[in-house]
Homo-oligomer: A and B are copies of this chain.
Amino acid sequence: MRDVSIIGLGQVPVREHWDRSLRQLGADAARAALRDARVDRVDALIAGNMLCGELAGQRHIGALIADHAGLGGIEAYAVEAACGSGGVAMRTGVLAVASGALDLVVVVGVEKMTDRSPHDITAALASASDADYEADVGLSFVALNALLMRRYMHEYGVRHEHFAPFVVNAHNNAVDNPDAMFRFAVTEKEFLSAKMIADPVNLLDSSPVCDGAAAVVLCPSELSRQYCQRPVRVLATAVATDTLALHDRADLLRLDAAASSAHKAFAQARLGPRDVHVFEAHDAFTIMAVLSLEACGFAERGQGIRLGLDGEITPGGKLPIATFGGLKARGHPVGATGVYQIVEVAHQLRGTAGKNQLRGSPSIGMAQSFGGSAATVATTLLEAPR
């Protein structure tokens, strides 16, 4: 199995891109990553996407984006695991290079959500849950997360205000990220007075509907210095799954797929939670960030909330998260998000994070991407250039 590195990073700003189509967003991110890697051509393009068919009437975007990125003819296809599509696309790209079959692969996460009505978007997103037993009875993703958050608060005696540090941190970090959707700070008071959506989830617990695309170029580590001064090594990629439906799980607050995926990734890299200097969590809803921290072993069960209260998740803390704003404030273009996370961790590790750069030269970074209610979880571990 060949060792794999990231040699190029690209992204488009997360916005409501009414002037850019799905294919343009994907092609723009892919070209940006190719420019960063200083390559004109790659062997394959793998797209992470969830809702191109439902929201744009377009499937088959692997070939389409390859063509519009000037890469016509190459191997290309799309990978889907709901909101975890980007993280899973990374996994398939890494395995393709690791196998020896392909040398240069660009992984592009892309989603175009804002052309449709809120009703259409909510219904499309619900297809990440169990359509027959959750979506069809009216459970949207906000509602599913409300059930989880309520249970967490009940089980551990936590109040809604205790979640505030996660939102405040994400928005603070987005201010200096030109690619973030919401470049404004949010106070605890603003968080607590935000409009209720599905009690206890309020507007500021929730990530936005938006458009975006991000990309990484992968190659064998042994070739990476040919292309790039500071390649970021992929230490591990791992995917695990769980039941789609929450009611099929023995323990609502134990995200088994997140734990299993993190465990597999740590085992591959021979590392543990204490070795990680920066973590991009799947904070589509505040509760998910907390449960992800616990599942990965960064906190004991019921203690993830404390990492926020103790300031440990901020840029100066022990385990900075959402360093560019996270899903909450950078934005969550669902199938693209997993690749945005990886691009951001890689920027932190190679020292190109601009005003968002963490101090102290982080050497190990981790990203975790969720599909649905963490029914598919992809974990990526990256290492700084040496």
Contact = CB atoms under 8 A, between A and B. Distances in A.
B77 A376 contact: yes
A329 interface: no
A379 to B, nearest CB: 11
A58 B131 contact: yes
A219 to B, nearest CB: 15
A74 interface: yes
Interface in A1-52: 1-2, 21, 44, 50-52
A73 B101 CA distance: 28
A92 B102 CA distance: 12
A241 B59 contact: no
A72 interface: yes
B1 A101 contact: yes
B124 A60 contact: no
A63 B98 contact: no
Contact of A127 (B44, B53, B88, B243): B53
B77 A78 contact: no
A256 interface: yes
Interface stretch (A79-87, A176-184, A290-298): A79-87
Given A60-B127, A60-B376, A78-B79, A260 B73 contact: yes
Copies in the complex: 2
Contact of A81 (B78, B256, B257): B78
Contacts of A99: 1-2, 95-96, 98-100
A130 interface: yes
Nearest to A1: B100
A57 interface: yes
A365 interface: no
A67 interface: yes
Interface in A274-294: none
A310 B283 CA distance: 63
A168 interface: no
Contacts of A64: 130, 244, 375
Nearest to A2: B99
A257 B63 CA distance: 10
B60 A128 contact: yes
Interface string A119-132: 00001101111111
A239 B54 contact: no
Given A67-B244, A95-B96, A257 B73 contact: yes
A359 to B, nearest CB: 35
6 tightest CB-CB pairs across the interface, nearest first? A63-B241, A1-B100, A58-B131, A99-B99, A60-B82, A75-B239
Interface of A: 1-2, 21, 44, 50-54, 56-60, 62-64, 66-67, 72-82, 84-85, 88, 91-92, 95-96, 98-101, 123-124, 126-132, 135-136, 238-244, 248, 256-257, 260, 371-372, 375-376
Given A76-B376, A77-B79, 19 more contacts: A1-B99, A50-B59, A52-B127, A53-B53, A59-B80, A59-B82, A60-B129, A60-B371, A63-B257, A63-B375, A73-B260, A75-B240, A77-B80, A77-B81, A77-B84, A77-B239, A78-B79, A80-B80, A99-B99
